[in-house]
Amino acid sequence: MVQTAPNGILKEDLYLFNEGSAHHSYRFMGAHPIQMDGIEGVRFTLWAPNAAEVRVIGGFNDWDGSSHRMDRVGSTGVFSLFVAEIGEGELYKYEIITPEGKVIRKADPYAFFGERRPGTASIVADLNGYAWKDEEWYAKKQAKPVYTNPLLIYEVHAGSWKIKGKEDFYTYDELAEDMIPYVADMGYTHIELMPISEHPLDQSWGYQITGFYGVTSRYGTPKQLMQFVDKCHSFGIGVILDWVPGHFCKDDHGLRLFDGTPIFEGPDPMRAEKPLWGTLGFDFSRNEVVSFLISNAIYWMDMFHIDGLRVDAVASMINLHMDKPPHMHTYNYLGGPDNLDALRFLKKLNETVFHYYPDTLMLAEDSSAWPAVTSPTYIGGLGFNFKWNMGWMNDMLRYMALDPSERSHHHHLITFSLLYAFSENYILPLSHDEVVHGKRSLLNKMPGTYEEKFAQLRLFYGYWMTHPGKKLLFMGSEWGQFDEWKDSDMLDWMVLDYDSHRTMHQYVKTLNRLYSNQPSLWERDNNPDCFQWIDVHNAEQSIISFIRRGNSDFSVIVANFSRNDYHDYRIGVPEPGLYRSILNSNDLQFGGTETQPQLCYRSENVAWHGHNQSISLHLPPFTFLFFILEPGDTH
């Protein structure tokens, strides 16, 4: 017999919530329009274990909760109340009487929607009833495992991709109209949205959240977001959400000291504080917090059909000392700096997500050296299926910023990553973090003249696209935006009127298409056999050459990171035949200098680089070349 608590909540659900295993707690926590005894109304349910009393306040009672006291549900720490004859659209908050008798007002941690800032009230929203049309997309996902298929992510900040004016944002509907066809035309497989949970400060970019279940009202309603995701799927584009389970902001209406005590952040301020960000970390030892967060991950997939989560700041979650001065260091019971509760949480998170959604992307934004981040939990891993390769990104951006005359002394920066490239399932990120706060845009990191900057960025993108690992590029980088990203202004779309940016844009589009059409670049991405150096040691000339292999094809890549023009540059090739250049970054159509670059090279019976065959090339400065062997054409 199913047992119910007051207002129709199942006792089993509350038990699982207290135990840390309520994977769908959003279905009974928060504000839900329901019918009770034939009467329409809203059921409010809240976790506030140390509160002396809780009331619901809103427009329906003139923000006076004296007649709407919530009922305490046993010893669960949960309060609940059914309010008759109200429904969707009602503004509300919780008025909490703390153990000391202080009255505080809080937004609903489980609110699905809220007032647009600076307002802080929650809004009753019914998320049911949207008619999804993405069955074909889900069938395609199941048929094409992402490990052996292209993954090319376009990272987007919805508040600055395009805007209509100062703080006059595009809605989800308007973004769908403009952004989705653009992303599809450019050849990206996924859009990654920087956080769209409700947050009070635009300049936090969504990483300091007050409403983890609330779709930010800046860009529209929850159902408009559903339409955006549905349209992405109709274009064959997946949607990844930046998800921030590591910390939350301290605004009074948020989670901090929620019932007058630290129930979300935990009792130890040295452990809870995140001084670098001015936020508080979650207490992963608290079962109800685990239920809150894991349910939140499932919520985005259940209700919004999100295809994956990029889990922010994993290194900060798992290291108790991360970004903290020595006087704030705390230790686990073994005497070490590892946050054992966070590690358990991440494992449980991934196990739970993959239980319900086996084809989901769980991406760790992790700058630590923690091993086995993308290994299954049953063999000791954290259970993610991809990890950002921060080492590759830092090495390559450091290398590309060097004057070309200095690169021969730092050749290891472009080759070292292959020593560990297959230790995890990696994504190579060129994200928003690399083009802000004085770091300069990707184009402006490149040294040299105006023309050399563009040539080197094309070269860098070529190496990025052909290096093992999936790909991520931040918006605006596809046309070589000169300025840093400005979060309060829209991207510099007007630069596409200039030839250098227009041809860079065309180059990136062509490179994206090449990636998707060449199985050698993704079919065996997590297998060391997919990569073979032709010449890794040519530091003196700052040239590298290598082979990428798929199941039945291969490609040959040559990259010249120097200012020198090399004629008759010879490389070994694995098979005899005619090698056709299908991408040359120095082609005039991409802003290069070659009007009629040589397209085909017949291999010669000249042993070179450990191969019996070789070809002799013209290799201009800052040039990336991509070759395939013409099918059936052999000596």
Q: Which residues are the active-site residues?
A: 312, 365
- The encoded tokens of residue 256 equal 């901090």
Q: How far apart are CA 485 and CA 157, in angstroms?
A: 10
CB 597 within 8 Å of CB 586: yes
- The count of C-alpha atoms lying within 13 angstroms of the C-alpha of 98, restricted to the half-sphere facing its C-beta, is 13
- What is the 3-class SS of 337-353, one letter each residue? CECHHHHHHHHHHHHHH
Q: What are the angstrom distances between the C-alpha of 397 and each of 413, 436, 449, 509, 535?
A: 9, 14, 18, 22, 22
The amino acid occupying position 151 is: L
Beta-bridge partner residues of 84: 41
CB 120 within 8 Å of CB 113: no
The amino acid occupying position 250 is: K
Q: Closest Cα partner for 622 from 564, 582, 567, 571?
A: 564
Determine how β-strand 78-84 pairs with β-strand 39-47.
antiparallel
Distance of CA 444 to the CA centre of its chain: 24
Beta strands, E only, 404-490? 426-430, 470-474
CB 375 within 8 Å of CB 385: no
Phi and psi, residue 399, nearest 5°:
-65, -45
Contacts of 84 (CB under 8 A, 6+ apart): 36, 39, 40, 41
Q: Closest Cα partner for 193 from 205, 182, 203, 185?
A: 205
Phi and psi, residue 299, nearest 5°:
-55, -45
Q: How far apart are CA 140 and CA 145, in angstroms?
A: 9
Handedness of CA 525, 529, 534, 540 (dihedral sign): positive
Neighbour tally for 38: CB within 10 Å = 5
Q: How far apart are CA 502 and CA 248, in angstroms?
A: 40
Q: Closest Cα partner for 44 from 66, 71, 12?
A: 71
- The encoded tokens of residue 325 equal 């001065």
Q: How far apart are CA 197 and CA 213, in angstroms?
A: 6
Task: Determine the length of the chain.
Answer: 635
Tokens 């659900």 — which residue? 13
Beta strands, E only, 438-564? 470-474, 531-535, 543-549, 554-560
Q: How far apart are CA 572 and CA 575, in angstroms?
A: 9
Determine how β-strand 554-560 pairs with β-strand 543-549.
antiparallel
Beta-bridge partner residues of 388: 427
Determine how β-strand 543-549 pairs with β-strand 273-274.
unpaired
**Element (DSSP H or E) covering residue 72:** strand 71-73
The amino acid occupying position 79 is: F
- The encoded tokens of residue 558 equal 């040559």
- The encoded tokens of residue 134 equal 């993405």
